[in-house]
């Protein structure tokens, strides 16, 4: 598959030609159907990691008949290696709020809530003021919608949309059974659109610049651009918005330190790409999708330690309710440790890869389902590091 060249883009942070409240006004001049179909046509997929088509989400919620609907901004940014939502909320909060307002108009919602990661509470003083001002502006332009903030409760799992609802409703953050999906029964059992911070900004930008201009960026499967959180062995750690569809080789060329051994695309729940696969691996929905986390490892790093860290993270951050995730994560840690110490044969790694397959198909939510990604990609590509 042909990849795109590395191309820097600035849709998110550039504010020239984009006054957020004006974008909302522009949306209000469109019909609700037009707003939704614009987002569908744009091909925008969720930027939180799962990549569900945003426009379809809005359509499902719009088609629901209910007295109350909610728009929730998922700002529980917890994936290891990602920090872009924090920056977006800090620098361009009004763009996020306009995305929420546009969604509210489209689906018929009067209440929006930002679920803000507990560790980001330092953003609150500034953010609260901006929200108040934005809410005022919304009522001035005649949109009956207001946004408030809920501080997250400190668990990675609360970023999973239904666990997030549970948390907001005052219960343990444990994922729900799906269906019903949030667009039918979400927060308080009401139709809910829950979008990632970055996704919401893109919806506003699509309304602002028009579908065609947005679609011109990226590829067939991965429309538009993406904000990446680059970290690890890189001289350019930080936040970079790039056109989607580039390959890992070009990414490494730009961001690596010249000695890059592997790139973990998509955080702990993503995939590890080894050097030999850099060229053929596309960053995007046709290759490896990512919520933005890009961790670069050079040859001084032990991939056994990397994997072990991820596994410990999962074993701690699993909500613990479902068997494959709670026990599977512990088995993986114990298994790789024993293989490393020579207490188990190296073939046991194959048994563990099978175990991650079970976790992938039988876990209740995305957390347990995605442990297989990093586990099998690291164990398969760095098997000797696991054993010796």
Partner 1 sequence: MSKIKLTIDGRKVQIEQGKTILDAAKKINVKIPTLCYHEDLCVAGNCRVCVVEVAGSRALQASCAIPAQEGMEIRTNTPKVRNARKDIIAMLVSEHNTQCTTCYRSTNCELQTLSAEYNIDNNRYLSILKPNIEVDRSSWSIEKDDSKCVRCQRCVRTCSELQHVNALTVSHKGKDMKISTFHDLPLKDVVCTNCGQCVNRCPTGALTERRYFDEVWEAIGDPTKHVVMNTAPSVRVALGEMLGYPVGTRVTGKMVTAMRRLGVDSVLDTDFSADLTILEEGTELLVRLKKALVDKDDTVKLPLLTSCSPGWVKFCEHLYPDHLGHLSTCKSPQQMFGALTKTYYADKKGIDPKDIVSVAIMPCAAKKFEANRGEMKDSGFQDIDAGLTTRELGHMIRQTGLNFLELEESTYDSIMGESTGAGVIFGATGGVMEAALRTAYEIVTGREVPFADLNITAVRGMEGIREASILIEDAVPEWSFLEGVEMKVAVAHGLINAREIMDQIAAGESPYHFIEVMACPGGCIGGGGQPIPTNEEIRKARVAAIYEEDMNMTLRKSHENPEIQTIYKDFLKEPLSHVSHNLLHTTYRKRQHY
Residues that bind partner 1 (CB under 8 A): 155, 157, 172, 177, 179, 314-324, 326-331, 334-335, 338, 344, 351, 354-355, 358, 360-364, 369
DSSP string for residues in 329-382: HHHHHHHHHHHHTTSS-TTHHHHHHHHHHHHHHH-SSHHHHHHHHHHHHHHHHT
Find the shortest distance in angstroms from Cβ 111 to partner 1.
27
**Is 126 or 354 the residue whose CB approaches partner 1 more closely?**
354
**Is 329 or 376 the residue whose CB approaches partner 1 more closely?**
329
SS (H, E, C) 17-55: CCCHHHHHHHHHHCCHHHHHHHHHHHCCECCCCCCCEHH
Find the shortest distance in angstroms from Cβ 288 to partner 1.
17
Find the shortest distance in angstroms from Cβ 316 to partner 1.
5
DSSP string for residues in 55-90: HHHHHHHHHS--S--EEEEEE---STT--HHHHHHH
**Is 68 or 323 the residue whose CB approaches partner 1 more closely?**
323
**Is 150 or 326 the residue whose CB approaches partner 1 more closely?**
326
**Is 321 or 380 the residue whose CB approaches partner 1 more closely?**
321
Find the shortest distance in angstroms from Cβ 122 to partner 1.
24
Find the shortest distance in angstroms from Cβ 366 to partner 1.
10
Report whether 95 contacts 217 (CB < 8 A): no
| Spatial distance between the Cα atoms of 382 and 41, rounded to a whole number of angstroms | 41
**Is 192 or 331 the residue whose CB approaches partner 1 more closely?**
331
Find the shortest distance in angstroms from Cβ 358 to partner 1.
4
Q: Is 257 left (phi over 0), alpha (psi -120 to 50) or beta?
A: alpha
| Spatial distance between the Cα atoms of 136 and 313, rounded to a whole number of angstroms | 42
Find the shortest distance in angstroms from Cβ 260 to partner 1.
31
What is the pairing mode between strands 260-265 and 271-274? antiparallel
- Expressed in percent and rounded to 5, the helix, strand and coil fractions of the chain are 50, 15, 35
**Is 85 or 174 the residue whose CB approaches partner 1 more closely?**
174
CA distances (Å), 360 to each of 128, 318, 328, 353, 357, in order? 39, 14, 10, 10, 5
The answer to whether the peptide bond before residue 180 is cis (omega within 30 degrees of 0) is yes
Find the shortest distance in angstroms from Cβ 340 to partner 1.
14
| Spatial distance between the Cα atoms of 45 and 199, rounded to a whole number of angstroms | 8
Rounded to 10 deg, the angle between the 197-209 and 84-91 helix axes is: 50
**Is 11 or 165 the residue whose CB approaches partner 1 more closely?**
165
């Amino acid at each position: 598959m042909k990849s795109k060249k590395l191309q820097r883009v600035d849709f998110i942070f550039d504010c020239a030609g984009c006054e957020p409240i004006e974008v909302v006004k522009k949306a209000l001049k469109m019909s609700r159907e037009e707003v939704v179909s614009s987002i569908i046509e744009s091909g925008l997929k969720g930027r939180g990691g799962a990549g569900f088509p945003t426009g379809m989400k809005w359509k499902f919620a719009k088609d629901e008949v209910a007295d109350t609907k909610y728009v929730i901004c998922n700002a529980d940014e917890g994936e290891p290696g990602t920090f872009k939502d924090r920056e977006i909320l800090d620098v361009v909060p009004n763009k996020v709020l306009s995305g929420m307002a546009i969604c509210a108009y489209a689906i018929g919602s009067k209440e929006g809530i930002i679920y803000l990661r507990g560790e980001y509470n330092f953003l609150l003083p500034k953010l609260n003021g901006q929200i108040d001002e934005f809410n005022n502006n919304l009522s001035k332009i005649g949109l009956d919608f207001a946004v408030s903030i809920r501080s997250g409760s400190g668990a990675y799992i609360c970023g999973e949309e239904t666990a997030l609802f549970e948390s907001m409703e005052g219960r343990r953050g444990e994922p729900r059974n799906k269906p019903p999906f949030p667009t039918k029964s979400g927060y308080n059992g009401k139709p809910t659109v829950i979008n990632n911070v970055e996704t919401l900004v893109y919806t506003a930008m699509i309304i602002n610049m028009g579908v065609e201009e947005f679609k011109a960026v990226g590829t067939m499967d991965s429309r538009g651009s993406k904000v990446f959180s680059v970290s690890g062995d890189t001289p350019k750690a930080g936040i970079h918005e790039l056109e989607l569809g580039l390959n890992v080789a070009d990414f490494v060329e730009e961001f690596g330190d010249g000695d890059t051994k592997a790139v973990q695309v998509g955080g702990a729940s993503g995939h590890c790409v080894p050097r030999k696969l850099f060229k053929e691996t596309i960053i995007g929905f046709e290759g490896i999708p990512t919520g933005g986390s890009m961790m670069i490892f050079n040859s001084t790093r032990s991939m056994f330690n990397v994997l072990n860290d991820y596994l410990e993270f999962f074993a701690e951050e699993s909500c613990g309710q479902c068997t494959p995730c709670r026990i599977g994560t512990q088995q993986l840690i114990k298994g790789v440790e024993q293989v490393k110490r020579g207490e188990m044969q190296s073939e046991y790694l194959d048994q563990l890869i099978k175990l991650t397959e079970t976790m992938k198909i039988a876990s209740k939510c995305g957390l347990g389902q995605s442990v297989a990604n990093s586990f099998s990609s690291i164990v398969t590509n760095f098997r000797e590091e696991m054993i010796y």
